[in-house]
Amino acid sequence: RLAEAERLGATTLDASATEDVVAAVRELTGGGSSYAIDTTAVPAVVKQGLQALRARGTMVALGLGADEYPVDATDLLQGGKRLMSSLEGDSDPREMVPRMIDMRAAGTLDLDPLVTTYPFAEINTAVADVLAGKVVKPVLVW
């Protein structure tokens, strides 16, 4: 997943190989990131993401799974930071889906490297692969 993110232009950080993730993000971004997106729903990751923001930064939580996220209230309030969610990317699907179809047809939205298909009989392999980080988006084919 890190390699795919880098291919798409992201600057990445392997959190499993980093002792202090917040300090590392602040170093990489010159004082903290302006934006963060969480797709993990892991409470500790959300907390680190918020702490790694610069003043007035925004974090969008997209992961579903945790019932609660711990928040460092002092960091949040003194930093003027925002924690928000997003419903379907906060876009109008009637406008965005046709736009994405056009982008794919034009070759400017290459989704193929993100998708791995599995026959339905291999559902357990698909789940294991996504949990192990081997694939980004497993798709079952019926």
Q: What is the pLDDT along the chain (142 residues), one digit of tens a residue?
A: 788 888 888 888 888 888 999 999 999 999 999 999 988 888 999 999 999 999 999 999 988 888 888 889 999 999 999 999 988 778 898 999 999 999 999 999 888 888 999 999 999 999 999 988 889 899 999 9
**Do 114 and 81 share a structural domain?**
no
Q: Which of 52, 71, 87 is the last residue of a domain?
A: 87
**Do 70 and 11 share a structural domain?**
yes
**Do 119 and 51 share a structural domain?**
no
What CATH number is attached to the domain comprising 39?
Answer: 3.40.50.720
Please write down the HEC assignment for all residues of the chain. CHHHHHHCCCCCCCHHHCCCHHHHHHHHHCCCEEEEEECCCCHHHHHHHHHCEEEEEEEEECCCCCCCCCCCHHHHHHCCCEEEECCHHHCCHHHHHHHHHHHHHHCCCCCHHHEEEEEHHHHHHHHHHHHCCCCCEEEEEC
**Do 63 and 6 share a structural domain?**
yes
Q: How many domains does the chain have?
A: 2
**Do 113 and 78 share a structural domain?**
no
State which residues form the domain around 12. Answer: 2-87
**Do 102 and 38 share a structural domain?**
no
**Do 12 and 80 share a structural domain?**
yes
**Do 106 and 68 share a structural domain?**
no
pLDDT at 140: 97
